[in-house]
């Protein structure tokens, strides 16, 4: 889905009263309608563009700097005239062999009457807007606090969905990882990719419960008390997601350890068999060598005898190579 660089909305009593107007008009529109709250979304803004919005809403320079930089940790900071929040929405896809996870970093300035979001990569804003439009009664009661709650709820839902998909993806890999003799290398690489995706997701999800709790305690807007139960629900989902990720990481590590142990067992078994056969062959070889039993063979001291022995050596070596290749030893 394509996105415009800037998207705006003006809400009053839970309903959209203006949409996609220039961001520079936001302060005037809020001044004309004391009951209205606004949302401004900026896609990958430049310093000058973001500074223009910062000047209108008196945003702190340190918060503006954080919004321009990438890979900030999830957090909620309080400044004199606004709050600054940084969170990550998550997308995840897999096809049984590869894992693709994308985190959309969202920085949000929360003023008395405006929510300003900044993200450097495209995200599905229709999901967020649909979340706000789904409950007009709650939006009317919550005002700006409802917009912040909707943003956090959408972000945590994306994280929870990704965590569940990753956990389900391990079900398909689990049987292969626990096969006798160890898993094939592609399955093992897929398991490593799952673990890497889980580790990346944990960094985005780990602080979320604290971020939601601090947002609830910040008292955004006049009707914040009405939304406390909803914030607690989002906080609970964030905590559940973090626990699911920890469980999944423990599970994938145990599966990889079990696969490694199975490979070690197979290697020990092969080594034991090779050592036994080497001992069996070594004894008669040592005895014949000690007694010098170099008996004539068919074609001894003949040119065709040398040819037969050479062919026999090549065929025997090739047959052994094919056998070991089939067993996966080479």
Position 178 confidence tier, pLDDT thresholds 50, 70, 90: confident
Range of lowest pLDDT (21-30, 41-50, 273-282): 273-282
Give the per-residue pLDDT at 3: 57
Percent above pLDDT 70 for the chain: 96
For the cut 70, the answer to whether the pLDDT of residue 242 exceeds it is yes
- Look at 160 and 306; give whichever has higher pLDDT: 160
For the cut 70, the answer to whether the pLDDT of residue 234 exceeds it is yes
Phi (first) and psi of residue 163, to 5 degrees: -65, -40
Query: If you average pLDDT over each of 3-12, 79-88, 291-300, which comes out highest?
Result: 79-88
Give the per-residue pLDDT at 96: 67
Region class of 221: left (phi > 0), else alpha (psi between -120 and 50), else beta: left
Q: What angle do CA 68, 27, 31 make, to 5 degrees?
A: 155
Rounded distance between C-alpha atoms, residue 49 and residue 15, angstroms: 28
Section 301-320 average pLDDT: 86
Residue 157 domain-assigned (yes or no): yes
Residue closest to 202 by CA, chosen among 158, 246, 171? 246
Residue 296 domain-assigned (yes or no): no
Rounded distance between C-alpha atoms, residue 232 and residue 212, angstroms: 8
- Look at 124 and 65; give whichever has higher pLDDT: 65
Give the per-residue pLDDT at 208: 96
Strand 36-43, strand 6-12: pairing:
antiparallel
Position 222 confidence tier, pLDDT thresholds 50, 70, 90: low
For the cut 80, the answer to whether the pLDDT of residue 330 exceeds it is no
Position 30 confidence tier, pLDDT thresholds 50, 70, 90: very high
Rounded distance between C-alpha atoms, residue 316 and residue 230, angstroms: 74
Residue 299 domain-assigned (yes or no): no
- The pTM of the full predicted model, rounded to 2 decimals, is 0.81
Residue 306 domain-assigned (yes or no): no
Rounded distance between C-alpha atoms, residue 100 and residue 5, angstroms: 25
For the cut 70, the answer to whether the pLDDT of residue 39 exceeds it is yes
Position 11 confidence tier, pLDDT thresholds 50, 70, 90: very high
Average confidence score pLDDT of the chain: 87
The pLDDT tens digits for 260-299 are: 888 888 888 888 888 898 888 888 888 888 787 777 777 7
Give the per-residue pLDDT at 82: 94
Give the per-residue pLDDT at 2: 42
Total domains in the chain come to 1
Give the per-residue pLDDT at 224: 62
**What CATH number does residue 164 fall under?**
3.30.460.20
Residue 289 domain-assigned (yes or no): no
Residue 64 domain-assigned (yes or no): yes
Supply the range of the domain harboring residue 162. Answer: 6-262
The pLDDT tens digits for 84-143 are: 999 999 988 777 677 877 889 999 999 999 999 999 888 888 899 999 999 888 888 888
For the cut 50, the answer to whether the pLDDT of residue 232 exceeds it is yes
Residue 33 domain-assigned (yes or no): yes
Position 49 confidence tier, pLDDT thresholds 50, 70, 90: very high
Rounded distance between C-alpha atoms, residue 208 and residue 206, angstroms: 6
Residue closest to 61 by CA, chosen among 51, 52, 48, 70? 51
For the cut 80, the answer to whether the pLDDT of residue 182 exceeds it is no
Section 31-35 average pLDDT: 92
Section 194-211 average pLDDT: 92
Residue 77 domain-assigned (yes or no): yes
């Amino acid at each position: 889905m394509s996105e415009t660089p800037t998207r705006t909305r003006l809400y009053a009593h839970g309903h959209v009263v203006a949409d996609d107007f220039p961001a520079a008009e936001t302060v005037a529109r809020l001044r004309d309608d004391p009951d209205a709250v606004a949302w401004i979304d900026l896609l990958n803004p430049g310093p000058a563009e973001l500074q223009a919005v910062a000047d209108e809403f008196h945003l702190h320079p340190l918060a503006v700097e954080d919004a321009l930089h990438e890979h900030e940790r999830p957090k909620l900071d309080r400044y004199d005239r606004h709050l600054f929040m940084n969170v990550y929405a998550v997308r995840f896809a897999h096809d049984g062999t590869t894992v693709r996870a994308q985190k959309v970093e969202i920085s949000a300035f929360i003023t008395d009457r405006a929510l300003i979001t900044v993200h450097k990569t495209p995200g599905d804003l229709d999901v967020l807007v649909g979340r706000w439009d789904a409950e007009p009664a709650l939006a009317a009661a919550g005002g700006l606090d409802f917009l912040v709650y909707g943003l956090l709820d959408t972000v945590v839902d994306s994280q929870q969905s990704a965590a569940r998909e990753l956990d389900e993806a391990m079900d398909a890999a689990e049987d292969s990882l626990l096969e006798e003799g160890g898993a094939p290398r592609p399955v093992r690489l897929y398991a490593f990719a799952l673990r890497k995706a889980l580790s990346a997701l944990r960094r985005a999800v780990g602080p979320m419960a604290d971020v939601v709790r601090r947002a609830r305690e910040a008292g955004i807007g006049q009707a914040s008390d009405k939304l406390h139960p909803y914030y607690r629900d989002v906080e609970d989902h964030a905590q559940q997601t973090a626990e699911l990720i920890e469980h999944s990481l423990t599970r994938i590590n145990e599966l990889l350890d079990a696969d490694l142990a199975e490979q070690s067992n197979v290697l020990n078994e092969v080594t034991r068999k090779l050592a036994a056969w080497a001992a069996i062959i070594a004894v008669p070889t040592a005895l014949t060598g000690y007694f010098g039993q170099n008996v004539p063979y068919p074609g001894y001291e003949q040119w065709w005898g040398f040819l037969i022995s050479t062919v026999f050596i090549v065929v025997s070596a090739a047959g052994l190579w094919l056998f070991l290749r089939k067993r996966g030893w080479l």
